[in-house]
Amino acid sequence: MSEQARVGLGLRREMLDEFCDSIPEAIDFFEVAPENWMTLGGKFERQFKLLAERKPFYCHGLSLSIGGPLPIDVQFVRDIKAFMDLHNITTYSEHLSYCSGSGHMYDLMPIPFTQEAVRHVVNRVKLVEDILERPLILENVSFYAAPGAEMTELEFIDAVLSEADCKLLLDVNNIYVNSINHNYDASQFLRAMPTERIAYLHIAGHFEEAEDLIVDTHGADIISPVWQLLRECYEVHGVYPTLLERDFNIPPTSLLLNEIAQIHQYQHDASALLSRSA
Three-state secondary structure string covering 111-160: CCCCHHHHHHHHHHHHHHHHHHCCCCEEECCCCCCCCCCCCCHHHHHHHH
Q: Give residue-wise pLDDT tens across range 154-177.
A: 999 999 999 999 999 999 999 999
Which among 99, 102, 112 has a CA at the least distance from the CA of 68? 99
Pairing state of beta strands 198-204 and 207-210? unpaired
Would 249 be classed as within a structural domain?
yes
Would 122 be classed as within a structural domain?
yes
Q: Give residue-wise pLDDT tens across range 24-53.
A: 999 999 999 999 999 988 999 999 999 999
Would 68 be classed as within a structural domain?
yes
Would 1 be classed as within a structural domain?
no
* Contact by Cβ (8 Å): 47, 30: no
What sign results for the dihedral spanned by CA atoms 47, 53, 55, 58? positive
CA distances from 161 to 23, 139, 151 (A): 35, 10, 15
Q: Give residue-wise pLDDT tens across range 92-127.
A: 999 998 775 444 444 556 688 999 999 999 999 999
* Contact by Cβ (8 Å): 185, 179: yes
End-to-end CA distance of the chain: 18
> How many CB atoms lie under 10 A from the CB of residue 87?
18
pTM of the model: 0.91
The predicted structure's pLDDT at residue 104: 43
What CATH code is carried by the domain that includes residue 28? 3.20.20.150
Which among 216, 220, 231 has a CA at the least distance from the CA of 262? 231
- Mean pLDDT of all residues in 128-138: 98
Q: Give residue-wise pLDDT tens across range 10-29.
A: 999 999 999 999 999 999 99
* Contact by Cβ (8 Å): 245, 11: no
Would 152 be classed as within a structural domain?
yes
3-state secondary structure of 174: helix
Cα separation, 131 vs 62, in Å, equals 18
* Contact by Cβ (8 Å): 109, 99: yes
Would 105 be classed as within a structural domain?
yes
Would 87 be classed as within a structural domain?
yes
What's the domain count of the chain?
1
Query: Residue 229's domain spans which residues?
Result: 7-277
Confidence of residue 193 (pLDDT cuts 50, 70, 90): very high
pLDDT at 206 over 60: no
Would 2 be classed as within a structural domain?
no
> What is the crossing angle of helices 224-237 and 253-277, to 10°?
30
pLDDT at 255 over 50: yes
